Amino acid sequence: MDKMSPIKAAVVQFQHKAGDKKYNLLVMEKFIEQAALQGIQILAFPEMCITGYWHVPKLPADEVNALAEPVATSPSLGLVRSLAAKHQMMICAGLIERADDGRLYNAYVACMPDGTSHTHRKLHAFEHQTISSGDSYTVFDTPWGVKAGILICWDNNLVENVRATTLLGADILIAPHQTGGTNSRSPHGMKPIALDLWEQRAERKAEMTAAIRGVSGREWLMRWLPSRAHDNGIFILFSNGIGADDDEVRTGNAMIIDPYGRIVKETDAAADVMVTADLDLSLIPMSSGRRWIYGRRPDLYHILTERQGYERDAITARFSEEETGVKKG
């Protein structure tokens, strides 16, 4: 791996329009063309960027179903696939998938330069009662000699998911989100950002930047996201929404993190932005997290696969007022 050329990667933050696939794809197409001019090889867009995100919980079931598309025949992904082939780029984007059996998923699709694709279904979906959670990890080969994995938003919060993705061979984790400014039940978690601040972001630039970088944005991410990269010796490509998303304000914070948990490149812009960086693959083998993995003792970890009795489905775990039942010893 130490002789491999760096991979040119980019992550995008943009403010989607709810349910407006045409608009969202136009924005994405502009970023794809911009990335092509810079020789980008891997480009990641946010979670559910094609369909829109936080308006979905308020939709009736038939309207959620109407937003969904089958991955294989998706007109939206058809455009992305054609651009991936045209520019010989791996382009990753999120939408609502309608599976062959009619079930819906919060899905994220990596469209490859050769016309193939890889789909990850969010493991901990809570966006709507009609959206099911996926049941498998997603790790695949890239044309550049390394494997990539995908975890969507809340999937990344659970440490087991990132470790499992790494153990399956991932060197690069694509981590699409729609986060920041959510009303966390935790007293020291994220809190809402006022919609009028976003609407007045030009004249209140310092306040807007402070919110993006503050406890409901970057500061919250810094509590956990770099550790996922560091503890597993992987690159993380973090893409996110920015701006008003129904009644919440996303904070963007698009960033690329190296296997030591260091921020290689990031933005605090209150705007649609692409962040780019070269991924130095030679950092992976001797990174702390990658070396620690060799000291694992799987025989001690049986408790990780045993149900403790307080586990909940993603919707209940995300929104319930019930206190945790985690044992204290």
- Which helix H or strand E contains 168, and what residues bound it? none
Q: How far apart are CA 190 and CA 219, in angstroms?
A: 9
Residue 121 pLDDT more than 70? yes
- Residue type for position 187: P
Q: Which CATH class is domain 7-319?
A: alpha beta
In degrees and rounded to multiples of 5, residue 140 shows phi and psi of -150, 160
The tokens for 310 are 């307080």
Residue 324 pLDDT more than 80? no
Mean pLDDT (the chain) is 96
Q: How far apart are CA 109 and CA 69, in angstroms?
A: 12
Residue range 68-119, pLDDT digits in tens: 999 999 999 999 999 999 999 999 999 999 999 999 999 999 999 999 999 9
Q: How far apart are CA 166 and CA 102, in angstroms?
A: 31
DSSP state of 323: P
Q: Shortest CA distance to 86 belongs to which of 36, 45, 42, 38?
A: 36
**Residue/partner pairs of 60-63 with CB below 8 Å, 24 or more apart:** 61/128, 61/129, 61/130
DSSP alpha helices (H): ranges in 134-293? 154-157, 159-167, 195-199, 205-213, 218-222, 225-232, 288-293
Residue reference for tokens 């998911």: 161
**How confident is residue 314, by pLDDT bands cut at 50, 70 and 90?**
confident
The tokens for 216 are 């409901």
Contact 293, 166 (CB under 8 A): yes
What are the angstrom distances between the C-alpha of 135 and each of 35, 188, 276, 315? 32, 31, 31, 16
Residue range 28-79, pLDDT digits in tens: 999 999 999 999 999 999 999 999 999 999 999 999 999 999 999 999 999 9
pTM across the whole model: 0.96
Q: Shortest CA distance to 160 belongs to which of 219, 105, 232, 218?
A: 232
pLDDT of residue 165: 98
**How confident is residue 2, by pLDDT bands cut at 50, 70 and 90?**
very low
The tokens for 163 are 């470790």
